[in-house]
């Protein structure tokens, strides 16, 4: 049953990992850039005595990345619900495949428990990774 | 050995609609049972109750001597292929076999492999890309390789063309003969079942109209053609199933014992299809009569 749950969930899991990895790379790159320009700008601004303007500029130029991270964090639960939660049971009922699953030598309770536990665990891990960004 | 299916006053109600009523059945083991009836007669409901997908609203049912789908052991004893033979569209043929192997303790890998080869299915092909006939065969393979004692098939050939239909039924019969499995399969076409079934259950408008071994049923029923007369003029040991009168002639379908009823008439046996249709017509007719009665009473 664990195999079947994983086999059905594989595509969605791979997609999520790719998105998370891409986002991580992007944010790490932005972060390094930010760090660099902050150090460089701060060093030069004391000499020119215009630190307020420079800091404002710095904030402005990284606002987009910052907003994106914010949106992703807010949207993550909804996305998980749409792409992982809804098809978990819904697709089986829609295509009638629950009738296949329920007539193997596995009770319905076990079927539901393993599905919920498996995808639930994946959601927790994803949330953990997102949390680590902050 | 006890009955494969024992139902006592079984009923199922969906809201206000009665899908199955007063269904009392006792099917002995070792048969290929045909469940016939028009669309919406309650065939699917009965089969779903038998495999535990639905709970009855009244009455009792025992399949192979136990409650349907009570525990994994009971689930392992029954193979079920649902209507339209659902399969996981994005899983390959090989994945389906793996699924069966992982989820069933008595899974027969060799049998499954042999059947897939015999059917010429590509194990890497996704089930969603198979034709209707191939998909039905795949679903049957998964159900058969589970090595059940009873196989329940709900209109397995309904969506297949005549050729695929014949090949499906042939494969079904082969695996049944090899493993000694009992089978219940439903259809709204008698011609499908005629070739394979030795036990028949006729279900019309949510009630069981007729049940018994095909040979017995055929031996007990006669069509009598005679000069015009009333039903009461026939010998009392003949049960009249259907009567039709013209000005000068009467035609009766009667049920009696196995000896040909003698009298001033011509008595013949019926074809299975005619027999089933007679019972279907009778049920439809009495249903219509009950309805007119009701509207008349209302007035």
Q: Per residue in B232-251, pLDDT tens? A: 888 888 888 889 898 899 99
Residue B298 scores a pLDDT above 70: no
Count of domains observed in chain A: 1
CB B187 within 8 A of CB B193: yes
Least confident of B18-22, B48-52, B213-217, B259-263: B259-263
Q: Could you tell me which residues are beta bridge partners of residue A40?
A: none
**What pLDDT score does A41 carry?**
78
Q: Could you tell me which residues are beta bridge partners of residue B14?
A: B17
Q: Which residues of chain A have pLDDT under 70?
A: 133-134
Looking at the complex, report in whole angstroms how far the Cα of residue B246 sits from the nearest Cα belonging to chain A. 50
Give the pLDDT band of residue B1 (cuts 50, 70, 90).
low
**What pLDDT score does B195 carry?**
83
**What pLDDT score does A134 carry?**
61
Q: Is A93 touching B (CB cutoff 8 A)?
A: no
If you average pLDDT over every residue of chain B, what do you get?
Answer: 88
CB B185 within 8 A of CB B34: yes
Distance of CA B56 to the CA centre of its chain: 18
Looking at the complex, report in whole angstroms how far the Cα of residue A100 sits from the nearest Cα belonging to chain B. 7
Tens digits of residue pLDDT in B204-236:
888 899 999 999 999 999 999 989 988 888 888
Residue of B nearest to A111 (CA): B103
**What pLDDT score does A75 carry?**
87
Is A11 in Cβ contact with B102 (below 8 Å)?
A: no
Residue B26 scores a pLDDT above 60: yes
**What pLDDT score does B8 carry?**
92
B-chain residues near A7 (CB < 8 A): 91, 95, 99
Q: Is A3 touching B (CB cutoff 8 A)?
A: yes
Give pTM, 2 decimals: 0.84
Is B100 in Cβ contact with A100 (below 8 Å)?
A: no
Q: Which of B53, B98, B105 sits opposite A99 (nearest CB)?
A: B53
Q: Is A4 touching B (CB cutoff 8 A)?
A: yes
The per-residue DSSP string of B28-96 comes to -SS-EEEEE--TTSSHHHHHHHHTTSS--SEEEEEETTB-TT-SHHHHHHEEEE-TT----TTSBHHHH
Domain extent for A97: 2-132
Q: How many CB atoms lie within 10 A of CB B195?
A: 11
pLDDT above 90 as % of chain B: 45
Q: Which residues of B touch A (CB under 8 A)?
A: 51-53, 69, 71-73, 75-76, 78-80, 82, 84, 86-91, 95, 98-100, 102-106, 139, 142-143, 146
Looking at the complex, report in whole angstroms how far the Cα of residue A112 sits from the nearest Cα belonging to chain B. 14
Looking at the complex, report in whole angstroms how far the Cα of residue A122 sits from the nearest Cα belonging to chain B. 21
B-chain residues near A107 (CB < 8 A): 69, 71-72, 75
Tens digits of residue pLDDT in B264-276:
888 888 889 999 9
Which ranges constitute the DSSP H helices of B104-253? Answer: 109-119, 132-145, 162-179, 190-194, 214-220
B-chain residues near A96 (CB < 8 A): 82, 84, 86
Looking at the complex, report in whole angstroms how far the Cα of residue A116 sits from the nearest Cα belonging to chain B. 18
Averaged pLDDT for residues B80-99: 92
């Amino acid at each position: 049953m664990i195999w079947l749950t994983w086999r059905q969930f594989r595509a969605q899991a791979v997609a999520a990992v790719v998105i998370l990895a891409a986002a991580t790379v992007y944010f790490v790159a932005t972060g390094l850039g930010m760090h660099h320009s902050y150090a460089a700008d701060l060093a030069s601004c004391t000499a020119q005595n215009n630190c307020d303007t420079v800091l404002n500029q710095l904030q402005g130029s990284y606002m987009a990345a910052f907003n994106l991270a914010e949106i992703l964090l807010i949207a993550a639960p909804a996305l998980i619900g749409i792409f992982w939660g809804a098809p978990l049971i819904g697709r089986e009922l829609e295509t009638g495949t629950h009738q296949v699953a329920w007539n193997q030598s596995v009770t319905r309770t076990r079927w539901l428990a393993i599905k919920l536990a498996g995808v639930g665990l994946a959601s927790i891990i994803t949330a953990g990774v997102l949390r680590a960004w902050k | 050995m006890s009955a494969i299916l024992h139902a006592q006053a079984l009923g199922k109600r969906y809201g206000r609609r009665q899908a199955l009523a007063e269904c009392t059945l006792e099917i002995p083991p070792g048969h290929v049972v045909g469940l016939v009836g028009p669309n919406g007669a309650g065939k699917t409901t009965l089969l779903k109750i038998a495999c535990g997908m639905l709970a009855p609203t009244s009455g009792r049912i025992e399949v192979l001597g136990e409650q349907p789908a009570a525990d994994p052991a009971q689930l392992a004893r029954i193979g079920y292929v649902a209507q339209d033979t659902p399969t996981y569209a994005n899983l390959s043929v090989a994945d389906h076999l793996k699924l069966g192997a992982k989820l069933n303790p008595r899974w027969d890998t060799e049998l499954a492999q042999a059947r897939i080869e015999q059917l010429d299915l590509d194990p890497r092909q996704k089930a969603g890309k198979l034709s209707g006939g191939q998909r039905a065969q795949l679903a049957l393979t998964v159900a058969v390789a589970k090595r059940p004692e009873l196989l329940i098939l709900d209109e397995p050939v309904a969506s297949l063309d005549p050729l695929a239909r014949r090949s499906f039924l042939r494969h079904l019969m082969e695996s049944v003969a090899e493993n000694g499995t009992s089978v219940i399969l439903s259809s709204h076409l008698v011609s499908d079942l005629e070739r394979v079934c030795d036990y028949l259950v006729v279900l019309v408008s949510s009630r069981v109209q007729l049940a018994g071994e095909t040979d017995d049923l055929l031996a007990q029923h006669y069509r009598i053609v005679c000069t015009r007369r009333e039903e009461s003029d026939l010998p009392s040991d003949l049960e009249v199933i259907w009567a039709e009168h013209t000005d000068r002639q009467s035609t009766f379908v009667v049920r009696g014992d196995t000896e040909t009823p003698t009298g001033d008439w011509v008595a013949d046996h019926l074809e299975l299809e005619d027999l089933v249709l007679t019972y279907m017509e009778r049920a439809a007719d009495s249903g219509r009569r009950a309805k007119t009665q009701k509207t008349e009473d209302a007035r």
